[in-house]
Structure 1
Amino acid sequence: MENKVKLRSEIEDRFKWRVEDIFPSNEAFEEELAKLKEEAPVLLTHKNKIQEKAGLLAYLKDFEVYTRRLEKLYVYASMKSHEDTANNVQQVILSKVAQYAAEYSAMVSWFVPELLSLDDAIIEGYLADEELALYRFYIASIVKEKPHVLSKEKEELLATLSDSLNAPDDIFSIFTNADMTFQDVVDEAGEAHPMTEGSYSMYIQSKDRVLRKNAFLELFGTYGKFKNTLGQTLSSNMKTFNLKAKIRNYAGPIEASLSPNNIPVAVYDNSLETISEGVKSLHRYVDIKKKLLKLDEIHMYDLYVPIIDVPEEKIEFEDGVELALKGLAPLGEEYLEIFQAGIRDGWIDIYENKGKRSGAYSSGTYDTAPYILLNYHKDLRDVSTLVHEMGHSIHSYYSRKYQPYVYGDYTLFVAEVASTTNEKLLINYQIEAEKDPVKKLYLVNQELEQIRTTVFRQLMFAEFEKITHETIQAGTPMTGDDFNALWLDLNRKYFGEGIVLDEEIAIEWARIPHFYSDFYVYQYATGYAAASAFAEAILAEGKSAVDKYLGFLKSGGSNYPVETLKIAGVDMTSKAPLEATLRRFDHLLDLLEEYIG
């Protein structure tokens, strides 16, 4: 009965997160929520008073007090609900605080418009005032977007239209998740398998080539039938984003997406230029994969199949921690001590239990531990997940320890850097330490696939977004056929002439939900590139690079993300970080070729 999923009550307390450190009981939670509801409306009394310094300071201090209290309530309710999603008591508690959070958000929504309505002279005075020094960057980061904020009436109109403007995303989601269905697909033995978006990701990695080909043809053949509808949906989404960028006085859609975090458009353009210069490495990978899979010709449906299988060894959690500590040793004693303290002090909810939320995440607030939810199944990838989530949590730990509350969090642009740096250090250690050539090859291919899917693939997506948005911005409409033609061209560019470019792949753009979160995907690649640059420097330079890296972790949100990284030695406006990733990719290809002989 080893595989039976335990009830939560059957799991030892030492393997659970210590959520009782936030609130000892639901009763204590309810008491605090009632008090907050009673006391927080004081925030409304600051309206129309922030044109005076005393009024602004009073609001900012009260806002911090009540927001911190709300965050603790929300994190407690959320974590408790994830322990057992079938526990209705905890679901009700979460819905209570979620409902109040919406009310709270509405209660403080007056602040930014009112701050932006102040005369420039008042704002300049605030930015120069020593008594407001703590809030200088916070205020500056809000007011720098002033040229792109509309009048109160226009902002209200846009807000009113938000549901309608989000319609393309809603239509895409409903259509692809609820209405689109697939036929069963057969394997080489003639056995039928149910086909869904979820099962496709399994079939495309299958050693059974007939199954993966049939899954590929069924998935993209079905999408292809709706090319015109899905083309119109995506085109409408892009037109909406372009319209909002124009209304808000941005030079273009990419600037509209990057400007709020002060990320230069050059970061986006440099990424595309650098990857274009490095695509020959991906062509080389395709050629090597073809040889290792012993194929006469390699097709698009062969890209995801593992080139080697190794027996899955079970790694107990304590052994996984030991492996993680060895991999992260280059980060120094202090980092390892924090890692071990997190295990010891109840940061982590380790094992699966009946009803527990799936997956993994890092959570917590400024006033709690940086908690981690895991579902540890003793696989090697679970160790990678552990170091990934610990990367997030130790980033949060350092940010909250060294920054005041107002800068205690960090932006999405850098959110994956610390987690991925940990993963890079771990797999580098595993590859270097592994003596068995077959296991070593397995690890090498794992990292190659990470780079292929997180860097090359996401930047191909980013290039597609740039071309399509700029075409629409120039007034040229785009149809499903136009998207198809462009997608085929990009696949030819990225994968080279050595692969059979199956025409069905032309419709792949139609199943990418991230295209409805405009200019989001490039951040996967930039985060990975920054992590590659950090890992390379840490391994080559030791303490001096580690000190810079820890400085990055400690800086939280006290500066714009590109500046934060630059101070730590990683300049995302240059090509260097992505070039470090491509160097690593080439080194791993060399190891593969050595194996082939």
Structure 2
Amino acid sequence: MWRCTNGSMEMTDDEKIPERKEMDERYQWDLSPMYGDMNQVEREMDELSSEIPGLSSFRGTLKDAERIAEAIRTTDDMSRRLEKIFTYAHLMHDSDLRRQDFQMLHKKAVNLLTRFESESSFMVPEILQLPMDELRRLRDSKTLRFARVQMREIIRRKEHFLSPEEERLLAMADDALETPSRTFTMLNDADITLPRVKDEAGNEIELSHSRYGVLMRSRNRDVRKNAFSALYSFYGSHINTFASLLEGELRKRRFLSRARNYDSCLEASLDADEVTTDVYTSLISAVRSHLPSMYRYLDTRRRGLKIDKVHMYDIHAPLVPEFERKITYREAWRIVREALEPLGNEVASVLDKAESSGWIDVYENRGKRSGAYSSGCYDSPPYILLNYEGRLDDIFTLAHELGHSIHTYLANRNQPHITADYRIFVAEVASTVNENLLLSHLSDKWTSKDERAHLTEHHIDSFAGTVFRQTMFARFEKEVSEMVERDEPLTAEGLSGTYMELIREHFGPSVHADDEISMEWARIPHFYYNFYVYKYATGFSAASAITSAILGGDLDVDDYLGMLKAGGSEPPLELLRRVNIDLTEPSTLNRGLVLFDGLVNDLDGML
């Protein structure tokens, strides 16, 4: 069981993951600002369901600015209400993936969203039947000024929209096409049963995703090795199922990209952010050219751990074994709040709201979705899911997710609903700026040799995990996607072989690539997010430059916050240029990679 002590959760003797009802409600999110209970959500769903058929009244009438404006306002209002329903449903669902009532609510929300998309799918193709000169005139008209961003996007992607009938079919298929992703989540989080293992104290504990991360940082190599083997025993016994799910996800993307006249799945995904494929491939090339720095770090790790070969379960072992600090959640909150003081009073007031208004679901419970995220809508707080364990990594995760929530909150408060939602390409900037500010703050506060070595190690691990590792993921996703585009069958053996080749290239000669790591692809949820992972690396590069400029006085905080407040009102690359970041320039990526080399030198000297 778990008990709450001064804002921290401590294990008691039986070492079980607690049920949600056993948790302290102070550390669970408060969803009441959206709806009082599930019955209220059901009533809202019924009301919206009865309104959706009325969208057909716009069919065949979208020929002038006034009628198009009315259609956009109507669908924007419905979309806003749907987002609120879906946000509530998925947060309830993620709090305990096993509960049938939460599953049912979530499925109803998904079905309602699919109906809305199907019934409104004729609108864009119908508008696009107008001559291009007329479309441009409508875009620039006073009547449609509020929807200028949407009209611009419709015109830009004209060749990728289909006929009204074809768009309706795609919208109707959307729910079915999400089956691989949903099934992966249920298998990986709700239905997963992992073996029991021993921790450093010799206690037998139930392994979970969250606890696995803790055990991989154990000072006891046998503990790490046994946890590593235990975790992958589960994935090994289900590897063909995971292969089939990933193949289904990739074939879905191939179908949609071909249906919309894109040359590749990668092009289709990046076009949504107005990013060209050369940004993606340039990142891969830049990281590959700096792999010798990664090899040097891993050899430093080998020497620091005093072992002949670094195994995959040694990658996160502490290099400063005598440094040990368990950080309560309340202490973590105080540290993060102090670290973000350079962002000013406006951000401080957002943090006050997050702390006092139940935005954050802090601790692990049985059935809860693993990992961490920020999620909300225009009419809800930007909620945060954590699985807090008291490690240094957990403080950085808190800062990271608060960055997303600050971004969402500022965009929602400064933009109308129609332009508040920012593109995914810029989503990882604010989160990583927060992490960098936290690192700078701790570097000033933690001054002993061990503390500084620990922070430097964390910075390197964060850099390696965000830039090198995520770029390796990006390569894997690109390569297996291209296999599907060539109509090659995907098998568990083929996926594992491709992944192992990348592991060996990215980790180099100092690392022994254990057989189990070839199955790691099976447990990565981001491979179901449609080429998302590269954005961690580009976001890290942009955020590093922004943080340096803020702390160095070269960037006004108001300009940075202005970029966040702009939401989705401008294309993502243009938003970044507001703060002097150009991710189409290779030098932006290379500056960060050169910094990594210097950090390795620093750590080598400290050890």
Matching residue of 2:597: 586
List aligned pairs for 1:92-107, cutoff 5 A: 100-107=112-119
Q: Does 1:58 align with 2:62?
A: no
Among 539, 549, 554, the alignment partner of 1:537 is: 549
List aligned pairs for 1:337-348, cutoff 5 A: 337-344=349-356, 346=357, 348=359
After superposition, give the CA deviation of every residue in 1:255-302 in whole Å (9 maximum; x if it has no partner). 122112211112101111111122122111101111111112323332
- Residues in 2 aligned to 1:189 and 1:471: alpha-carbon distance in whole angstroms: 46
Matching residue of 2:15: none
Contact 1:6 1:353 (C-alpha < 8 Å) held by counterparts: no
> Shift of residue 90 of structure 1?
8.1
> Shift of residue 563 of structure 1?
2.2
Deviates more, 1:333-342 or 1:506-515: 506-515
Matching residue of 2:459: 447
> Shift of residue 396 of structure 1?
1.5
After superposition, give the CA deviation of every residue in 1:431-456 in whole Å (9 maximum; x if it has no partner). 23212222222222222222222221
After superposition, give the CA deviation of every residue in 1:492-551 in whole Å (9 maximum; x if it has no partner). 332222333445545544554544554232122222222222222222235x34233212
Matching residue of 2:269: 257
- Residues in 2 aligned to 1:321 and 1:530: alpha-carbon distance in whole angstroms: 25
TM-score, normalised on structure 1? 0.81
After superposition, give the CA deviation of every residue in 1:446-471 in whole Å (9 maximum; x if it has no partner). 22222222221111122233344446
- Residues in 2 aligned to 1:164 and 1:32: alpha-carbon distance in whole angstroms: 24
Contact 1:186 1:210 (C-alpha < 8 Å) held by counterparts: no
List aligned pairs for 1:202-351, cutoff 5 A: 204-213=216-225, 216=228, 238=250, 241-242=253-254, 244-309=256-321, 310-315=323-328, 317=330, 319-344=331-356, 346=357, 348-349=359-360
Matching residue of 2:511: 499
Deviates more, 1:507-516 or 1:565-574: 507-516
Deviates more, 1:428-437 or 1:95-104: 95-104
Q: Does 1:464 align with 2:476?
A: yes
> Counterpart of 1:290 in 2: which secondary structure?
helix
List aligned pairs for 1:61-72, cutoff 5 A: 61-72=73-84
- Residues in 1 aligned to 2:479 and 2:25: alpha-carbon distance in whole angstroms: 54
List aligned pairs for 1:15-414, cutoff 5 A: 19-22=31-34, 36=48, 42-75=54-87, 100-155=112-167, 204-213=216-225, 216=228, 238=250, 241-242=253-254, 244-309=256-321, 310-315=323-328, 317=330, 319-344=331-356, 346=357, 348-349=359-360, 361-372=373-384, 380-414=392-426
Amino acid at match of 2:432: T
Alpha carbons of structure 1 residues 95 and 526: separation in structure 2 relative to 1, 3 Å: same
Alpha carbons of structure 1 residues 590 and 332: separation in structure 2 relative to 1, 3 Å: farther
- Residues in 2 aligned to 1:514 and 1:305: alpha-carbon distance in whole angstroms: 24
Alpha carbons of structure 1 residues 575 and 383: separation in structure 2 relative to 1, 3 Å: same
Amino acid at match of 1:595: M
Matching residue of 2:450: 438
Deviates more, 1:413-422 or 1:464-473: 464-473
- Residues in 2 aligned to 1:435 and 1:212: alpha-carbon distance in whole angstroms: 29
After superposition, give the CA deviation of every residue in 1:311-356 in whole Å (9 maximum; x if it has no partner). 3344462x44432232112223333343335435x25356659889
Alpha carbons of structure 1 residues 591 and 371: separation in structure 2 relative to 1, 3 Å: same
Alpha carbons of structure 1 residues 207 and 102: separation in structure 2 relative to 1, 3 Å: same
Matching residue of 2:533: 521
- Residues in 1 aligned to 2:498 and 2:55: alpha-carbon distance in whole angstroms: 52
Question: Would you say how many aligned residue pairs link Structure 1 and Structure 2?
Answer: 592
Cα RMSD (Å): 4.5
Q: Among the aligned pairs, what percent are the same residue?
A: 33
Matching residue of 1:560: 571
Amino acid at match of 1:129: S
Alpha carbons of structure 1 residues 515 and 408: separation in structure 2 relative to 1, 3 Å: closer
> Shift of residue 182 of structure 1?
8.6
TM-score, normalised on structure 2? 0.80
Alpha carbons of structure 1 residues 190 and 54: separation in structure 2 relative to 1, 3 Å: closer
Amino acid at match of 1:429: H
Amino acid at match of 1:362: S
After superposition, give the CA deviation of every residue in 1:373-401 in whole Å (9 maximum; x if it has no partner). 56667665554343323212221122122
> Counterpart of 2:153 in 1: which secondary structure?
helix
Contact 1:224 1:507 (C-alpha < 8 Å) held by counterparts: yes
Contact 2:274 2:571 (C-alpha < 8 Å) held by counterparts: yes
Matching residue of 2:440: 428
- Residues in 2 aligned to 1:62 and 1:398: alpha-carbon distance in whole angstroms: 25
- Residues in 1 aligned to 2:435 and 2:509: alpha-carbon distance in whole angstroms: 32
Amino acid at match of 1:572: L
- Residues in 2 aligned to 1:286 and 1:505: alpha-carbon distance in whole angstroms: 17
